[in-house]
Chain A
């Protein structure tokens, strides 16, 4: 399978704990995106990387959230001091990065539940 993969698929945590999610993009895709989807809503943009550079962050990305893509390959999204409002599906997508309208290929998502 050469698609976008995410790990874990499900995460249940207690309020106040830290969590980290991983995304492995399609090989040789330069751009990597993170989105968040809550129940009954469309996904919302969080941040994106061009290779290892984080080029844009949404206002949704509070200072408790941090994302990295250290070698321009996989990416991690960490949430510190989780809150119940962080419960959502976290989606990762990658694209070749040649144009702004390149197709973004999505992973299956990580479902976070904060108790």
Chain B
């Protein structure tokens, strides 16, 4: 069975500082992994996806993630946080249907 674990339920950063949202996956074969973002009262939006091509994946709004098979990780990063990045972030393993992690709430302080 496939699953993802998001290691932090809440992350707080100051505007302009780096963002790191951690995700570990479990899969018996090479997985496809996505990150989605959910802003309050808005629908889920795809940030980026890994589908076994380049291990460093760039997404929208300056986010990127690196697939590390040896660590079974797919952490999401951004060099400099913006106030508009405050939202819920979900790591997802893909097998036709999407299997979501529990989510990480990102707060950005001015």
Contacts and interface: CB of A to CB of B under 8 A. Distances in A.
Contacts of B94: 100-101
Interface string B28-49: 0000101010000011111001
Size class of B's contact patch?
A: 20 to 34
Interface stretch (A14-22, A41-49, A76-84): A41-49
A91 B96 CA distance: 16
A109 B90 CA distance: 16
Given A41-B102, A101-B32, A48 B96 contact: yes
B43 A108 contact: yes
Interface string A1-25: 0011000000000000000000000
B15 to A, nearest CB: 25
A40 B94 CA distance: 21
Nearest to B100: A42
A73 interface: no
Nearest to A43: B100
A33 B49 CA distance: 18
A107 B103 CA distance: 18
Contacts of B51: 101
B98 interface: yes
Interface residues of A, number: 23
A55 to B, nearest CB: 9
B98 A35 contact: yes
B43 A44 contact: no
7 contacts: A42-B101, A45-B97, A56-B97, A91-B43, A101-B49, A103-B46, A108-B42
Given A45-B97, A101-B49, A104-B98, 16 more contacts: A3-B43, A4-B43, A33-B98, A40-B103, A41-B103, A43-B90, A56-B96, A91-B43, A91-B44, A100-B95, A101-B51, A105-B46, A106-B36, A106-B43, A106-B44, A107-B43
Interface of A: 3-4, 33, 35, 40-45, 48, 56, 91, 93, 100-101, 103-109
Interface of B: 32, 34, 36, 42-46, 49, 51, 90, 94-103
